[in-house]
Structure 1
Amino acid sequence: MTSFVASATNAAATAAHAAAVGASVPDVPVKENDPDTTFSLANLPGKNIILGVPGAFTPSCSSQIPGFIEKYDQFKAKGINDIYVVPVNDIFVTKAWKEKLGPESGVRFLADDKGAFTSALGLLFDASPKLGGPRAKRYALVVDNNKVTHVLVEASPPDVKETTADNVLSKL
């Protein structure tokens, strides 16, 4: 496990930082609703928001995401097509978290079970001491026709300051 964590963290540190304004969203599959069905965030039409979070059910993640669910209509009014929440968790944990937070909301929850999507963004960090392995830094990307227009990354993954629903709304 240690070698996997080290190689994933090193790859993220040395990767071209795809989470930069003007960059394209990487075409790395994630999972939605089913462990055998993949979904790509590359080439999404129009404006979308991608929220990376360290892990489902963690206290700060579980306090951050409800703001996006509650303000979903405000995001739609600002021209956002979809909001995607991407924890580094398996699909079963991700689905259970969605069921707890907002099963009827329009916010979509996608599992980055191996952290490959997050790593391609250059936003993976070693969370082994608290979460058992590599996880996503807390980030919010606004993308327009697959081009990143805004990048917000918290200085520390437990923080929820830059990536609140209100702050992301203010950038639109």
Structure 2
Amino acid sequence: MTSILTAATEAAHSAVGGLLAKAQIQPGGTIPIASVKEGDAAKAFELRLQGKNIIVGVPGAFTGTCIQLFEQFKSKGVNDVFVVAVNDVFVMKAWKAQLSTSDTGVRFIADDKGAFVSQLGLIFDASPLLGSPRSERFVIVADGHTVELVAVEPDPTKITVTAADKVLALL
């Protein structure tokens, strides 16, 4: 019975990943308004962007990101840096606390259902390693909701084209 349930669960995760996937957002595209969470599991809000913003997608909390260069992004005119993962609020809060004991200004956003990254076309089936569909590792630079730059790691286990210093050089 267990193997039947396991097989059914794996098939469902694969099907969901396939259904959620759509064309990847491109420069000139529009960042969708989607419900996400930050800090409170009971309170979703719509991510509405004003001015220049950076959205960093990661496959999961604790999978690597750099928050030390936040002030350099601010000096380049960036309003907010959002780190988004298909995780729950509690995990995102714990990750932020582990990365910095002070307020970094970097906002850690829980896309607990994967709806936001799915609308961006940046979700993939990470079931073999992480148990469910997850976010690609990406960086989007947006002015308001208009996409200016999209960088997606060819291998989500590595940080190359999405490294903070590489993105700073493009601003």
What is the aligned-residue RMSD (CA, Å)? 1.3
TM-score (norm 2): 0.89
Unaligned residue ranges in structure 2 (runs of 5+): 1-8
Partner AA of 2:38 in structure 1: E
Number of the residue aligned with 1:5: 13
Aligned residues: 162
Number of the residue aligned with 2:142: 143
Number of the residue aligned with 1:108: 107
Unaligned residue ranges in structure 1 (runs of 5+): none
Moved over 6 A (4+): none
Counterpart of 1:135 in 2: which secondary structure? strand
Q: How does 1:53-132 map to 2 (within 5 A)?
A: 53-58=58-63, 61=64, 65-66=65-66, 69-103=67-101, 104-132=103-131
Query: Identity of counterpart residues, as a percentage?
Result: 50
Give how far 1:166 is off.
0.4
Number of the residue aligned with 1:24: 30
CA separation in 2, counterparts of 1:34 and 1:111? 10
TM-score (norm 1): 0.89
Give how far 1:6 is off.
2.5
CA separation in 1, counterparts of 2:163 and 2:125? 23
CA separation in 2, counterparts of 1:125 and 1:138? 10
Partner AA of 1:5 in structure 2: H
CA separation in 1, counterparts of 2:18 and 2:167? 29
Counterpart of 1:9 in 2: which secondary structure? helix
Greater CA drift, 4-13 or 28-37: 4-13
Give how far 1:53 is off.
0.1
Structure (1 or 2) with the larger CA radius of gyration? 2
Alignment check: 8 A CA contact 1:8 1:124 kept:
no
